[in-house]
Amino acid sequence: MPFKLPIKVYLNEDEIPRQWYNLAADLPSPMLPPLGPDGKPLTPEALSAVFPMNLIEQEVSQERWITIPEEIIEMLYRWRPSPLKRAVYLEQALGTPAKIYYKDESVSPAGSHKPNTAIPQVWYNKKFGTKTITTETGAGQWGSALAFSCSLMGLACKIFMVRISFEQKPFRKIMMQTWGGKCIASPSTETEAGRSFLKKDPNTPGSLGMAISEAVEAAVTDKSGTTKYSLGSVLNHVLLHQTIIGLEAKKQLQKIGIKKPDVVIACAGGGSNFGGLAFPFVADKIAGANIEIIPVEPASCPTMTRGIFTYDFGDSAGMTPLLPMHTLGHNFVPEPIHAGGLRYHGMAPLVSQTIVEGLATPRAIQQTECFKAAILWANTEGMIIAPESSHAVAATIQEALKAKEEGKEKVILFNLSGHGHMDLAGYSKFLEGKLTDWELPQANIEAAEQDLKDLPKAKMNKTGKW
């Protein structure tokens, strides 16, 4: 049967969204605040040791729309607007009546959605007078994106990379170095936190939680006062910057006469590409639209589907504020699965609250099903995708097959968060039959409950919600 065109939907540069969307303005219940070590709500000033004030203002903003400075848009033109594509070849292979559309975020210079927030974060830091930015990176995507953005604006960049990924992905380190970044395996001996993690376990594979502790410490102990820390996911301002994905997708679907998708899917590690694609559609759902919204995580790191919704630290050493989120406990060290960017114990508070409010329904999938989906994708659509993104593709395939069973012509929209050109070691292991599935034992959840029992609870707020 001939294809019904178009397969690719582009926007002109002058159609790029001029404002980011802030879901906090529309959530049915107000967001719970971050708490300090004393259990009291943090003031913006208390965050200023770590972040510049202009980004803290975005972090706590209740404004629905926040204007994107023109200078940022001019930098984003390098790859934005990103294409919306229809996965017709996959649809044919599955024999599904569903129409599968995806935002292709792999087209950015660093190969993922991460520069959508790296560029604004570096821009606001530069305006504030920051000279050096520290950060952590899991799979290396965020570190590359920040190094790239710092190189555009002349800031120094120091990246603590989770040791297991540092070893699995040497080319990511070279990308960071090419853009002038300094990349260090974490835990390292450079920080107090790193030394203490190594003392506990000299062979630890590392985790995002540990690397965050190191990067925060490196920023707050710098004597010049011009070093700040930057986070690639989890926080409100990061998800805000990523909403450019969903806002573009809406315009692109409208261009081809689709009023709304029936299902929206993205993988979620800290929640930024999911929030970026989904939040503009969550707004429609709050306004009454019937849309199923699915964040997808690995079954071996089931933060959203089996974690506890409570206050927890964002890092392993307890240096960050306490955030209200789904968590497996800040001491949780995930299995060294190949989707490094999804190995995080917590979740963005905005995503957690979306789940608690019943606006999104999370799903956990095992890594071999995800790699199978990635192989099918490569052999139909062509691209070799990031193992993180394969979680979104696996859930999309599940939904497309369900639509086939039900005989429904559903519109599925998902986010292809990145390419997998630096992830071939994972593909190789899968192809050699060396990758296995792993279900988190219930004992780990009980251990998390123990770790969390003395921390404040995320209590029902004044509106009587949850």
Binding site for ligand PLP (CB under 6 A): 112, 138-139, 141-142, 233, 267-274, 341-342, 386, 388-389, 417-418
Q: How far is the CB of 216 from ligand PLP (least distance, A)?
A: 18
Q: How far is the CB of 341 from ligand PLP (least distance, A)?
A: 2
Name which of 272 and 352 has its Cβ closer to ligand PLP.
Answer: 272
Name which of 72 and 386 has its Cβ closer to ligand PLP.
Answer: 386
Q: How far is the CB of 450 from ligand PLP (least distance, A)?
A: 27
Name which of 256 and 384 has its Cβ closer to ligand PLP.
Answer: 384
- Residue 229 CA from chain centroid, whole number: 17
Tell me the residue length of the chain.
466
Pairing mode, strands 156-162 and 132-137: parallel
Q: How far is the CB of 95 from ligand PLP (least distance, A)?
A: 28
Give residue 59's identity as a one-letter amino acid code. E
Q: How far apart are CA 375 and CA 198, in angstroms?
A: 37
Name which of 96 and 371 has its Cβ closer to ligand PLP.
Answer: 371
Q: How far apart are CA 71 and CA 18, in angstroms?
A: 11
User: Cβ-closest residue to ligand PLP?
Assistant: 341
The residue among 187, 208, 206, 183 whose CA lies nearest residue 196 is 187
Name which of 34 and 138 has its Cβ closer to ligand PLP.
Answer: 138
Q: How far apart are CA 288 and CA 291, in angstroms?
A: 9
Name which of 99 and 148 has its Cβ closer to ligand PLP.
Answer: 148
**Do the Cβ atoms of 203 and 21 come closer than 8 Å?**
no
Hey, which residues does 413 pair with through a beta bridge?
Answer: 101, 264
Q: How far is the CB of 393 from ligand PLP (least distance, A)?
A: 12
Name which of 274 and 281 has its Cβ closer to ligand PLP.
Answer: 274
Give residue 301's identity as a one-letter amino acid code. C
Name which of 27 and 162 has its Cβ closer to ligand PLP.
Answer: 162
Per DSSP, the residues of 403-418 read HHHHT---EEEEEE-B
Q: How far is the CB of 200 from ligand PLP (least distance, A)?
A: 25
Name which of 187 and 270 has its Cβ closer to ligand PLP.
Answer: 270
Mention every residue, 6+ apart, whose C-beta is less than 8 A from residue 160. Answer: 134, 135, 136, 137, 184, 186, 188, 194, 211, 214, 215, 218
Give residue 268's identity as a one-letter amino acid code. A
Q: How far is the CB of 112 from ligand PLP (least distance, A)?
A: 4
The structure tokens listed for 439 are 């279900």
Name which of 76 and 235 has its Cβ closer to ligand PLP.
Answer: 235
Q: How far is the CB of 340 from ligand PLP (least distance, A)?
A: 7
Q: How far is the CB of 461 from ligand PLP (least distance, A)?
A: 25
Alpha helix positions (H), 230-311: 236-242, 244-255, 272-286, 303-306
Buried b (16+ CB within 10 A) or exposed e, 426-449: bbeebeeeebeebebeeebbeebe
Q: How far is the CB of 386 from ligand PLP (least distance, A)?
A: 4
What count of other Cβ atoms lies within 10 Å of the Cβ of residue 53?
Answer: 12
